[in-house]
Amino acid sequence: MHLSRFPRTRLAHLPTPLEPMPRLSKELGVEIWIKRDDCTGLSTGGNKTRKLEFLMGEALEQGADMVMTQGATQTNHGRQTAAAAAKLGLACHLLFEDRTGYNNANYNNNGNVLLDHLHGATTQKFPGGHDMPAEMERAAERKRAEGHKVYVIPGGGSNPTGALGYVNCAFEMVSQANDMGLRIDRVVHATGSSGTQAGLVTGFCAMNAQIPVLGIGTRAPRPKQEDMLFSLATRTSEKLGCPGVVTREDVVANTDYVGDGYGLPTESGLEAIRMFAELEGILLDPCYSAKGAAGMIDLARKGTFKDQRIVFVHTGGAAALGGYDFAFDTANAWVEL
Ligand SMILES: *Cc1c(COP(=O)(O)O)cnc(C)c1O
């Protein structure tokens, strides 16, 4: 696979570490490693940075002076897009959909939102259930009428161009595993707009790595999630020049850990945050990586991964924690000695 054929701009610190998690593994009785894509380096890191290397590469090639994207208020994708735009000298406009209904001050102004503003992005908010892609097209047309050359990035950066970032991650992971003599039996991670999983699956299939990927859902029900994934993996493999390498069976999502809905913390997710933080010194976020980890932890406890070596891809998101302080009970941490 020859990714240098595609426009790309370097934004991430790569390769990200592939490390064991000995204390969590002992706790669960399953060997679990972690691919630290929370350490991609751009404005506290995360999975969108890999996608943005290819998306921003295309934006620059097209001569854009402004990028636009959309997501939930605490979108990690928006924050990484704002940082990438700042680094490349482009303007950035973010459209937020209120998907949680939280009117809490930290949720609306802290965490990722604060970082968006520090990176110089302008922001705009819409009610939940709004047609965000249509709203973004309208906003882009308005800016084009003012003379801007606008490059529009879909929510989550999930199109075949963005997914190339995770095709690259699949190559990187296999190469690291080969160097270490590490057999990987399964990769697990949180899935949302599906570019991460579509890219990983396409990359592994194109290499014939024979590493199954399990996406833990954070929003859509299983049939919708898998249809979205398969469609994007199909289009990504066509873009790569290896159409048909991904079969429907390669695309697997478990959506049992979404809870009450997108962006709403779950008990099992909060437990996963505490376990990673207290056993490994690693921060997860309530919206994505905690739900992905919660699924992995529950399946490990149920014996699903017996005798398997699992790699958890940490997709980032801890920058959102400051917007979710209300979800954590930390009163017992204050003591008098
Ligand atoms: C966006 C995001 C995901 C989901 O990745 P997709 O490519 O949208 O499926 C997972 N974790 C975090 C922290 C994210 O920001």
CA of 196 to the centre of ligand 1 (A): 7
258 CA to centre of ligand 1 in angstroms: 13
The confidence score (pLDDT) of residue 16 equals 98
Ligand 1 centroid to 25 CA: how many Å?
24
Measured from the CB, is residue 76 less than 6 Å from ligand 1?
A: yes
| Cα(48)–Cα(76) distance, integer angstroms | 8
Of 280, 274, 321, the closest CA to residue 294 belongs to 274
pTM for the structure as a whole: 0.98
Ligand 1 pocket, residue 81 CB under 6 Å: no
Question: Over its length of 337 residues, how does the chain's per-residue pLDDT go in tens digits?
Answer: 799 999 999 999 999 999 999 999 999 999 999 999 999 999 999 999 999 999 999 999 999 999 999 999 999 999 999 999 999 999 999 999 999 999 999 999 999 999 999 999 999 999 999 999 999 999 999 999 999 999 999 999 999 999 999 999 999 999 999 999 999 999 999 999 999 999 999 999 999 999 999 999 999 999 999 999 999 999 999 999 999 999 999 999 999 999 999 999 999 999 999 999 999 999 999 999 999 999 999 999 999 999 999 999 999 999 999 999 999 998 999 999 9
Geometric angle at alpha carbon 314, from 4 and 108, rounded to 5°: 105
What atom of ligand 1 comes closest to residue 189's alpha carbon?
10
Task: Give Cβ neighbours of residue 46 (< 8 Å, ≥ 6 apart).
Answer: 37, 38, 40, 76, 79, 80, 315, 316, 317, 319
Give the per-residue pLDDT at 162: 98
Q: What pLDDT does residue 11 have?
A: 98
CB 74 within 8 A of CB 185: no
Position 1 scores a pLDDT of 74
pLDDT at 143: 98
CA–CA dist 163, 208 (Å, integer): 18
Predicted local distance difference test score (pLDDT) of residue 139: 98
Strand order in the sheet with 122-126: 122-126, 91-97, 66-72, 150-152
Sheet with 309-313, strands from edge to edge, namely: 18-20, 31-35, 309-313, 186-191, 213-217, 252-254
> What is the whole-number distance in angstroms between the Cα of residue 337 and the centre of ligand 1?
42
- Whole-number pLDDT of residue 305: 98
- Residue 125's H or E segment, with its range, is strand 122-126
pLDDT of res. 250: 98
* C-alpha to C-alpha distance for 181 and 213, rounded to whole angstroms: 20
Is 263 near ligand 1, meaning CB less than 6 Å away? Answer: no
